[in-house]
Structure 1
Amino acid sequence: MAPSASQESFLARRIDAAAAPLAAVDVLALSAVLTIGVINHNGVEYLSADPVGWVLTLVPFLVGWGVAGPLVGAYSAGAAESAKAAIPLAVRAWVPGAIVGFALRASPLFSGGFQPIFGVVVLLFGGAALVAGRWLFFKLFG
């Protein structure tokens, strides 16, 4: 069954090709901040000793971002215009994106579980990484 016109227009309003570079910036920013957390808890050797474990630490939050970012409009036409537009969209999308990540991490699909302090740290540092990444992107590439 083909998607209805209203579904197509909903997604069309939230995903614009001009915002594609922001997707790369966001994935790099979130991956970097989560990797710093992995290193802080396990040491830098962990990255090469257990690369699968490292990647599986990132996946729940990247999946959460991949779901919430487009739905909230983090890659809409407006997001590609300026930092003033892009940064608030990223912050608004990170809250539900992180919640999806927390739910996945608390599920039997991923190890690590969920503790409230972990949630606060990931929410704050992930949000800060998205803000910094998008700000830097627009500073460098206008």
Structure 2
Amino acid sequence: MADQSFLEQRLDASTWPIAVGDLVVLLAFLLVGTAQHRPALSPIDILTTEPLVFVNAAAPFILGWLIAAPLIGAYSPGGGSAPNSSIPLAIRSWIPAAIIGFAIRATPFVEGNVQLTFVAVITVGGAVVLAVWRFIYFKLR
């Protein structure tokens, strides 16, 4: 293990189903959230008629996830072995991922703002959807 790089210790190829599921549930969560701010449009309508609105809303958090999850170990050998290690790793990864997303949204380059209620909903909601997804994954595996 000493001859493995930092990322090699954090990334286990067998966790790819979890990684795909994480991205799907995060994208779905962010799409539903985006749709809440456009009540005249369904989530499908947003994807088909205003995809850039969704990309603008989701990209900061997905980028944050892609940075934080491997660094924290969400896809490490322990991250894919059992729910009692996988779920806490996902939650611990989501918190810095969300912070990265909020930091990106706070710049003038991204439309949107960072209000306290938004921070709470994204932080708690993201952690919940990741935890529920991973719980279901291990129940069905």
TM-score by length of 1: 0.90
Distance 1:42 1:104 in 2: 22
1:135 deviation in Å? 0.8
1:8 deviation in Å? 5.2
State the Cα deviation string for residues 8-44 of structure 1 (Å, max 9, x = none): 5211111110111111011011111111111111131
Pairing of 1:62-77 with structure 2 (within 5 A): 62-77=62-77
CA RMSD in angstroms, aligned pairs only: 1.5
- Opposite residue 101 of structure 2, the aligned amino acid is G
In structure 2, what is the equivalent of residue 9 of structure 1? 5
- Opposite residue 39 of structure 1, the aligned amino acid is A
In structure 1, what is the equivalent of residue 119 of structure 2? 119
Distance 1:39 1:88 in 2: 28
State the Cα deviation string for residues 35-94 of structure 1 (Å, max 9, x = none): 111111113143332111112211100000000000000000011111111000000011
Secondary structure of 1:42's counterpart equals coil
In structure 1, what is the equivalent of residue 25 of structure 2? 29
CA pair 7-35 structure 1, distance change in 2 beyond 3 A: farther
In structure 1, what is the equivalent of residue 90 of structure 2? 90
**Higher alpha-carbon deviation: 91-100 or 7-16:** 7-16
1:56 aligns with 2:56: yes
1:109 deviation in Å? 2.3
Distance 1:15 1:109 in 2: 31
Name stretches of at least 5 consecutive residues in structure 1 with no aligned partner.
1-5
Distance 2:4 2:83 in 1: 27
In structure 2, what is the equivalent of residue 3 of structure 1? none
TM-score by length of 2: 0.90
Distance 2:109 2:140 in 1: 39
Among all aligned residue pairs of Structure 1 and Structure 2, give the percentage whose two residues are the same amino acid.
40
Task: Tell me which protein shows more helix as a share of its residues.
Answer: 1
Secondary structure of 2:114's counterpart equals coil
